[in-house]
Amino acid sequence: MKLKHLTIFPLILATFFSACLSPAYAKTTEEIQLELERKNAELSKLQEKLGNIQKDLNYYASQRNSTNSAYAQIDAEMKEIEAQIEYNNLKLEELEQNKYIKELEKEEREKRQDGFVRDSYLSWKMTRFTDVIFSSEKDFVKTATYQTAITLDEKDWIKGLSGELVQIENDLASNTEEKKNLEIKTKDLESRKVELAQQLEKLNSTIASTSGAVAGIRGQIGTVQSAIGQLSEEQKAIKALEDIQTGGSTNGGTLPIESGEIYFTGRGRDLYQGHGVGMSQFGAYGAAQKGWTAQQIVTFYYSQTKIEQRSAVVSVSGYGNMDMETYVAGLGEVPDKACGTQEQVNSNPAKYAVDNPSTIWDCWPAEAIKAQVIAARSYAMSYGGTICTTASCQVYKGGTNKQWAADETSKQVIVSTGATHNGQVIRALYSSDNNQGYGTADNDTVFSSFNGVGTPYSYLRHVNDTGTAASYSYTNWTWRTNSYTYAEINQMLDYSAANYNTGGAKIFLQSTRNSVGSVTGMTFVRDGSNRVKQVKFIGTNGSAVMSGWLFKAIWNNWVANVKPSGQTDYIYSLTWFMQQG
């Protein structure tokens, strides 16, 4: 009888101890695990968004760093700040998610720890030692040894859980500190955004105050090499105004397309990609990644040319005369360092840098940088007179950071073998990203008169680099306008003929309006890159031709000032197509 009571007592004590050890958890271990899985899935999606915004941040930083244009720099910094604020807000959300997950993990581990303590106690109290000792089927020594080992393992496991809980507490404290810092940074960014908005407003007011100011402001708002010899003063002024009007919007049209009405679709954005003629810097980047040499790159982009070695002295604004090799060693334009291994960096730090995968501006393929140096040397040699140091010519920052590229391409220039400037060093035009889905432009598409007539250069012809060029943010960026009737197209021409005098285009627009009468149709002449070279209006009085770039400019001016659809549905590039709803 006594033995029986002794057997029941541990059961009663164990039940009581189990109840005391078990806190009132709101979730079971299984529920916590399911919640953890759900939150980790949400966190994964959030981190994907963060990755996409990081790409935008890299792009806007590249735009800010690759131009000397006051307007373009402010505009790019505004977009970079907006993207950074969005990134910070998502990061704060990520921190909240991580905090919640850590708290779940903490709850789950505490529950498991308490469970192990309880189960160990119950196992100890529930063991019938008389059975172990007196049973002929059991080995008492073995059993005792086994139970001791399990107890030690459980102690170690519980000790490990305690360590994890301490780490989780530390992570939560770090999380709180990081959140606090992010909130401060975001507040500072908001203040900077207000300052930049005020600067943009002031700059726009200055530009808008007089039409003469528009022509003079070109050096502030130009993209790489926009103020080149082929760009007339009239076209400079028109492009300056258009850059201001289209600089702050990226949405295009969003209204439903009306049946029977016309609208324009397109890809690319000229303001950020550049003029599109000659070598594409991102095209060279992509070609070099595929194993092309610098010489192969430049002779691909500049048709009917060859490489020769020639010496020269160049006059540089603010620096005076200098040897050409000294000049190209101090070029800006693209990164100074070639991407290399750590071993290459150690052996030649003047040339190589280990690539940082989060940005493309720390280093480029060596052959792409060398191609840039050959093109820049050729451009400077053919320039004539004193070359400026800004993006209006080509960016020169001084120093010797590209000395390695100058040495490896010593005196190499591009010489024409075609009909234009045969035997002479070419005016090697280039811009950031010349591919809007179909390759580079003919020079006489981009640089022409009001009616779309330009001088074709044999070495500045369209080439299709789609298979080799690196694709960047605006290469294949697509947009559309809202839909319009031909009556509204007539209103656009009426408005332009009456109001648009930038670059002296008013007389041409009035003549075009009178020649056409009421517009009933439009056709387009394109070059090999699908950019619009000319727009032909067909109307009740006859027909008239206008350059694609002027049509784009007056359309955007009409949209900016009249907003006929209620939206600023701009035409962003020369690569556009007319559709019918």
Percent of the chain with pLDDT over 90: 51
Residue type, 324: M
Question: Which of 83, 77, 80 is CA-nearest to residue 199?
Answer: 77
* Pick from 156-160, 308-312, 358-362, 423-427: least confident: 156-160
Check residue 434 and report its DSSP letter.
-
Query: In a 3-state reduction of DSSP, which class is residue 274?
Result: coil
Can you give the residue ranges of every domain in the chain?
2-206, 247-267+477-580, 279-428
pLDDT surpassing 50 at residue 228: no
Can you name the residues that pair with 480 across neighbouring β-strands?
265
Taking a C-beta distance cutoff of 8 angstroms, is the pair 486, 516 a contact? no
Write down the pLDDT at residue 206.
43
Partners of 479 in the β-ladder: 266
Burial of 443 (0-12, 13-18, 19+ CB in 10 A): buried
Task: Report the candidate in 238, 243, 250 with the shortest Cα–Cα distance to residue 224.
Answer: 243
Of 34-43, 143-152, 464-473, where does mean pLDDT reach its minimum? 143-152
Model pLDDT for residues 458-514, shown as the tens digit of each residue: 999 999 999 999 877 777 889 999 999 999 999 999 999 999 999 999 999 999 999
What amino acid occupies position 505?
A
In Å, what is the CA distance from 545 to each residue of 135, 275, 509, 528?
110, 22, 11, 19
Those residues with Cβ within 8 angstroms of residue 548's Cβ, 6 or more apart along the chain or in another chain:
445, 452, 524, 531, 532, 533, 534, 535, 574
Contacts with 556 (C-beta within 8 Å, 6 or more apart), sequence order: 242, 245, 246, 570, 571
Residue-wise pLDDT for 419-438, tens only, equals: 999 999 999 999 999 999 99
In this prediction, residue 193 carries a pLDDT of: 65
Position with higher pLDDT, 83 vs 252 = 252
Tell me the pTM. 0.64
Could you report the per-residue pLDDT of 524-579, keeping only the tens digit for each?
999 999 999 999 999 999 999 999 999 999 999 999 999 999 999 999 999 999 99
- Cβ atoms of 499 and 284 closer than 8 Å: no
What local confidence, expressed as pLDDT, does residue 197 receive? 66
| Residue 8, pLDDT score | 47
Helices (H), 127-210: 129-134, 140-208
How far apart are alpha carbons 547 and 448 in whole angstroms? 7
Rounded CA Rg of the chain: 35
- Locus of tokens 């022409």: 448
Cβ pair 444, 533 in contact under 8 A: yes
Percent of the chain whose predicted confidence (pLDDT) is above 70: 71
Give φ, ψ of 331 to 5 degrees: -65, 155
- Assess whether pLDDT exceeds 80 at residue 265: yes
pLDDT at 126 over 90: no
Beta-bridged to residue 266, according to DSSP, are 479, 576
d(CA 49, CA 91): 10
